[in-house]
Amino acid sequence: MTTREDCLALDARDPLGPLREEFVLPEGVIYLDGNSLGARPRPALQRAREVVEKEWGEGLIGSWNSAGWRALPERLGNRLARLIGAGEDEVVITDTTSINLFKVLVAALRVQADRDPSRKVIVTERSNFPTDIYMVEGLADMLQQGYSLRLVDAPEELPAAIGTDTAVALITQVNYKTGHLHDMAALTALAHECGALTIWDLCHSAGAVPVDLKGSGADYAIGCTYKYLNGGPGSPAFVWVAPHLRELVWQPLTGWWGHVRQFGMEARYEPAPGIGRYLCGTQPITSLAMVECGLEAFEKTDMQALREKSLALTDLFIERVRARCGEHPLTLVTPLEHARRGSHVSFEHPEGYAVIQALIDRGVIGDYREPRIMRFGFTPLYTGFTDVWDAAEALVDVLDSDAWRAERFMTRKQVT
């Protein structure tokens, strides 16, 4: 059985340990919510100051060229690409996950409409992050062309649900509630056998687990940069399209930034070649520029090293909670199998909301998701083994002391 001394020793010899210094975290806080909003990279404050004071304040309009604003979506996309198994000039950082999902969803449906217009079903998990489901509903409602959602109740039901009527399988690689990790290559192959296209939502996997879009044969991918990628609150999202699909159709949000001649001021839309056509309107430069600070931290390590530590951290947390909280009504909902586990661990508890609040009061920040799920995110860039030990002990203390009962009737205010 691991001891706290073992954890201190693990931290002392952890080759990733020094990366903690790349981030600023408040004193006395164990932050296990990087899967909702990543911590602040140390250079982000200086980067924001540069953009606001120098690039905006002094460079003014000239900064579109002199400070490289115009090239930011592509340049940062290239820095992100290696983390998700994408190639050079295949990713842009822009807009939001929801908007990017709309773009690729319409594109995929149009590709399918040309191939086999009878395919009208979009398959996804009922427990997928709600915005993914909502965006499909909004699109189907707008098009009125008979598109419908097929929601499966468990990850293992996905293969049977993808069939010859399926236009698109929309799969979030790591489930935001359970932490279940899907096999991208296997599901993509299965979808392709049925003639379906795949859209992968990487919100909880980019920067959390190794992702191999090209190796898996994936068709489309989207995701955010403000969780494991530490881009800052609401920082713009990313979009990737397999090169052979990219130019088959227009994505529908055809703004000026996606035009082949962005400053030609022409009266007809003509999409840029390449992933540039997935750009639309003017981007929030200050928020966008800080994404780079999050990506820089990843360049000091690699996803395999991060994955090994992530699994060690989640293993340790599961082991400690099971060993210490056995008498409490906790149910692990995250897969034990490594190949099926992302980088967060979720337990159900009948009073999960109150327990999380009591933990936050003790400086251990996890979060709560309806219904009854307590989530704990483990981010190997800045979380250590002793943090995990202490977080588990704090949970023991909250549960044993019934400290959570005082929190039961507080207003529920949570965010993704």
- Which residues are catalytic, by number? 129, 201, 226-227, 375
**Residue given tokens 């799920």 in the structure block:** 373
- Helix-helix angle 130-143:97-115, to 10 degrees: 50
Structure tokens at 344: 């967060």
Q: What is the CA radius of gyration of the chain?
A: 22
Kindly tell me which of 5 and 370 has the beta carbon lying closer to a copy of itself. Answer: 370
Q: Return the residue matching tokens 């992302």.
A: 342
Nearest to 317 by CA among 389, 221, 256: 389
Decide whether 10 or 246 has the Cβ nearer to a copy of itself: 246
**103 or 303: CB nearest a copy of itself:** 103
Beta strands in 282-333 (DSSP E): 331-332
Residues 6+ apart with CB under 8 A from 194: 162, 163, 164, 166
Q: Which amino acid is at 408?
A: R
For residue 310, say whether it is annotated as part of any ligand binding site. no
172 is known to lie in a ligand binding site: yes
201 annotated binding-site participant: yes
204 is known to lie in a ligand binding site: yes
Closer residue to a copy of itself (CB): 135 or 392: 135
The nearer residue to a copy of itself, 1 or 265, going by C-beta atoms, is 265
**What is the smallest separation between the CB atom of 412 and a copy of itself, expressed in angstroms?**
7
Question: One-letter amino acid identity for 9?
Answer: A
For residue 315, the SS3 value is: helix
> Is 60 in contact with 285 (CB distance < 8 Å)?
no
331 a known binding residue? no
Report d(CA 220, CA 173) in Å as an integer.
12
Asked if 33 and 377 touch (Cβ cutoff 8 Å), the reply is: yes
Give least dist CB 95 to a copy of itself, A: 7
Q: How far, in Å, CA of 371 to CA of 352, rounded?
A: 8
282 is in an annotated binding site: yes
Work out how close the CB of 283 gets to a copy of itself at its nearest, in angstroms, rounded to a whole number: 5
In the complex, the smallest distance separating the C-beta of residue 407 from a copy of itself, rounded to whole angstroms, is 15
* 302: CB partners within 8 A, 6+ apart: none
Known binding residue 98? Answer is yes
- Please, which residue, 100 or 188, has the CB nearer to a copy of itself? 100
Q: To the nearest whole angstrom, how small is the minimum distance from the Cβ of residue 322 to a copy of itself?
A: 26
Is 153 annotated in a binding site? The answer is: no
Question: Residue type for 134, please?
Answer: Y
Q: How far apart are CB 53 and a copy of itself at their closest, in Å?
A: 5
- Alpha-carbon distance of 164 to 411, in angstroms, equals 46
CA-closest candidate to residue 92, choices 74, 72, 80: 74
Going by C-alpha positions, the residue among 416, 20, 366, 368 that lies closest to residue 204 is 416
Instruction: Give binding residues as ranges.
Output: 97-98, 129-132, 172, 201, 204, 226, 256, 282
Instruction: Give binding residues for pyridoxal 5'-phosphate as ranges.
Output: 97-98, 129-132, 172, 201, 204, 226, 256, 282
